[in-house]
Each structure stands twice: as C-alpha cells, then as structure tokens.
Amino acid sequence: MFHADNLEAWLDRLESSHPKGQGGIELGLERVGEVLRAMGLTSRLPFPVITVGGTNGKGSSVAFLEAVLSAAGHRVGAYTSPHLLRYNERVRLNGVEAEDALLVHGFEHVEEARGDVPLTYFEFGTLAALAVFVEARVDVAILEVGLGGRLDAVNIIDADAALLTNVSLDHVEWLGEDREAIGVEKAGIFRRGQIAVIAEREPPRSVLAQAEGLLLRPLRRGVDFEARLTGDGWSWQGAGTAFRLPLPALSGAHQIDNAAGALMVLTAMRERLPWGDDDLRRGLLSARHPGRMQCMDVGAVRVCLDVAHNPAGVEVLVRTLAADPPAGRTLAVFAALADKDALAMARGLSDWVTAWYIAGLDGPRGRKAEALSSILQAADLPVAACLGTPRMAYTSALADARPGDRLIVFGSFLCVADVLAALRDSDIEA
C-alpha cells in the first residue's frame, strides 16, 4: 500500500499508476463502486448532493451554486475538474481550496479501501473528494461530472438534484457521434424521484426520453423557467416567482444561461437548502471561475484566456468577443488536444483572428504544434508562429502585439494553464 505525507508525491503516484486507456480515460462504475463501499459509503451520502453535467458551462454553474449557498451560510463542498494551476482547485470548502493535508488524508482513505482494485486518476480523485466532504460534514456537495455522465465516476452518487447544462459534440470517441447519442450519456445523471433541471432550451430527444423513462418531469428552460437580459441586468422567472438581478461577476452573456439553470436548482431545493434574495445577489456577484473569459491588461494589450475546447465553446467565445471588439487586431494563441476538432474550432474564430500563434501540448492526448499548424495552414488561416509550448506562443504573440490589440488564449485547459502560469510568474494579476 502506498503512503506519502505530501500531496505532490500522491499526485506523482496517481499519474504513473492509473489503468491504461485512451489518454488515461476508462469509463465505468464497477471499480469506483467497489471502492466506495469499502470506504464505508453508499451512493446516498449523508448530505444533499447536486451534480452538474453537460458539455459546456459546468464549472461556471458549479461556481454560481457554490457562491449562493455559501453566502446563505451553508457549509459547501465543491468538486470540479480539471484544474489550471494547482490540484487543490478541484476540491473546495466554502469556495476555499482544500489544504494539502486534507487531500492527502482523502487519498489515504481511498488507498486503504481499494486493496487491489485499480483506479484511474479521476476515479481516485473523485473518491478522495467525497471522503474530504464527509469528514468535513458539509451541508451540501456540488459535484461536476467529468467528460461523460452515465459511466462517469461522479455518477456513482445518487444525487438529490441534477443540472444538465447543454449537450454538444465533444469526446465523440467515448460518448457517441451525434447529440442524440451523447444525450443518452449526459442524461444518465438523472435519478428517479429526484430533481432534474435542463438548462438548454432544445435538448436532444434522448435527454427527454431518459427523463420520461425515469418517470421524471424535468424542469426545463423555456417551459418551467426563463431568463433574459434587461439593460444592465437580467431577469429570471420560474416556479411562481421572479427576480431582477445584477449581471454575474463571470464575464459573457452566456453566463446568464449558466446562472439561470443554477437558479432553477436553487429554487427547487430552497426548502431543504434555504437561501435569501440577498444571498442570491451576493453569490452572483462573488462567483469566480478562473480561465473562463478571464481578461487583464498587459501593457497596452488586452489579454483574454478562455478554456473553450470544442466548437460549441468557441461559438460562445465568439459571441463574447463580438460584444466588445478591440481598437486593433485580435491575435490568437491556440493549442488543442489530438481528439478535438481543431479545424472547426479555428474556423469558428477565423473572422476575428488576424494571426495565429500555434503551440503544442504534451501527454497521451497531446498534439504537436507542427501537426496543428499544418491543419490551419491547409485551411489558409494565417499562422504567424509555430512553437513548442503555449507559454512560448504567448510570448511571441505579445511581442508582435501593438497597442490596442487583443490577444486570445484558448483551445485547451492545458493551454490556458500554461499561459496563466506565465502571467503569474510575471506578477501580472490574472
């Protein structure tokens, strides 16, 4: 049995010992369920659980739920992935990253329970987060589902409420090649007799069929609740009530969609997890989610980082960029994993980008800069530089930028994380 007193050693161990699969991904609930039971836990935890699934907007939705419930005085555990700079970002208590010692204790609990059962990096981390939340005696846990739904490790828990943000094409190798197939996987987080919220106005038919098969009447955007921009704020109506609210702290008009779904969950669970109108407003204004249209000025250049990593995410990014055009050009730092539709992502931004600075990503799912550059050049997109890492591509783009230009960093969490680290190393507040 492995033992270590520091978090770095545990993470090194997990990275080197998880079962082999496509990039370390191995979907299924058998292993994680066996270890959960060995930990003395069941699929029903001793506190309410909210799961958040979908293709895009999950992390932001978790941030809104977390901020409002924390403002209301509840002890909130939140689990998200992946992280940008520190593993601790994945596990939070009342919005504060878990300390190393808490995570190490959680890892030890999982290690003691698993025996000879192999676990992936994500499965191990998910079980450790649950152990942290149980020991901390949280009032509620908010769990972001990973790339899937039905067979994702988080789905071992029978949640009291499930929020489905949207369904788009992504991870087609594991989830299916169209929205209907992917919808089956994503809607696997629904549970009979529990709350199900669908934040997408027109979800795939398969999502509705899944709910119907569970005898659920899901709460749907456009049917049971609605949200609209109203001047300098937004309005929400649903469940016999209405709110006029300030724009969320998270940037982009699409954050109204994420906040709207989160508010429907909060309203549906209000008797069990009470909150006041002032808590709602404070939560919306205090929610934070790094790497999501996170902008700062570097000299006379506006630098924006966004983890848009699929075509649907890029569509949202384009709408946000179009709402605030720069005085000068837009330069793009772009890196994408090998299993992503990089050409569709680049084409989605092509009308805005004057020059592309291409970077490579390491790892089993990584894509070399040269391969990505060739894809863009074949589509006649103006590649200005092809460099080994996102940090190098960012440095090159910033050197070429003129006052009034905008620099966009996107394409992968790994890309944004590398540039975010570079900004922090330069003492630039990101």
Give the pLDDT band of residue 16 (cuts 50, 70, 90).
confident
| Average pLDDT score over the chain | 92
> Is the per-residue pLDDT at 173 higher than 60?
no
> Is the per-residue pLDDT at 235 higher than 90?
yes
Percent of the chain with pLDDT over 90: 78
Report the C-alpha gap between 50 and 378 in whole angstroms: 45
Mean pLDDT over 219-226 rounds to 97
Report the C-alpha gap between 369 and 385 in whole angstroms: 10
DSSP 51-100: EEESSSSHHHHHHHHHHHHHHTT--EEEE----SS-GGGGEEETTEEPPH
> Is the per-residue pLDDT at 25 higher than 80?
no
> Is the per-residue pLDDT at 73 higher than 60?
yes
pLDDT at 174: 53
Nearest Cα to Cα of residue 171 among 153, 190, 185, 154: 185
For residue 104, CA distances in Å to 10, 113, 285 come to: 7, 14, 32
- The separation between the first and the last C-alpha atoms of the chain, rounded to the nearest angstrom, is 40
Phi/psi at 183 (5° precision): -60, -35
For 367-394, how does the pLDDT look when each residue is reduced to its tens digit (9 = 90+)? Answer: 999 999 999 999 999 999 999 999 999 9
Report the C-alpha gap between 54 and 148 in whole angstroms: 8
For 311-330, how does the pLDDT look when each residue is reduced to its tens digit (9 = 90+)? Answer: 888 988 998 888 889 999 99
For 253-306, how does the pLDDT look when each residue is reduced to its tens digit (9 = 90+)? Answer: 789 999 999 999 999 999 999 999 999 999 999 999 888 888 999 999 999 999
Mean pLDDT over 334-356 rounds to 93
pLDDT at 68: 98
Give the pLDDT band of residue 21 (cuts 50, 70, 90).
very low
- Torsion sign, CA atoms 287, 291, 294, 296: positive
- Quick one: how far is CA 37 from the chain centroid? 27
Query: Where is pLDDT greater, at 91 or 82?
Result: 91
For residue 122, CA distances in Å to 43, 162, 302 come to: 18, 20, 35
For residue 281, CA distances in Å to 21, 81, 421 come to: 44, 26, 31
Tokens matching residue 288: 């934070």
pLDDT at 346: 95
Burial of 421 (0-12, 13-18, 19+ CB in 10 A): middle
Percent of the chain with pLDDT over 70: 95
Nearest Cα to Cα of residue 308 among 338, 261, 349, 359: 349
Whole-prediction pTM value? 0.90
> Is the per-residue pLDDT at 154 higher than 50?
yes
Give the pLDDT band of residue 396 (cuts 50, 70, 90).
very high
Tokens matching residue 151: 């067979």
Crossing angle (nearest 10°) for helices 100-114 and 121-136: 110
Tokens matching residue 32: 């994680």
Give the pLDDT band of residue 178 (cuts 50, 70, 90).
confident
Mean pLDDT over 191-196 rounds to 96
Give the pLDDT band of residue 232 (cuts 50, 70, 90).
confident
Work out whether strand 225-230 and strand 233-238 pair parallel, antiparallel, or are unpaired.
antiparallel
Nearest Cα to Cα of residue 323 among 389, 391, 251, 220: 251
Give the pLDDT band of residue 170 (cuts 50, 70, 90).
low
Give the pLDDT band of residue 331 (cuts 50, 70, 90).
very high
For 96-133, how does the pLDDT look when each residue is reduced to its tens digit (9 = 90+)? Answer: 999 999 999 999 999 999 999 999 999 999 999 999 99
DSSP 269: T
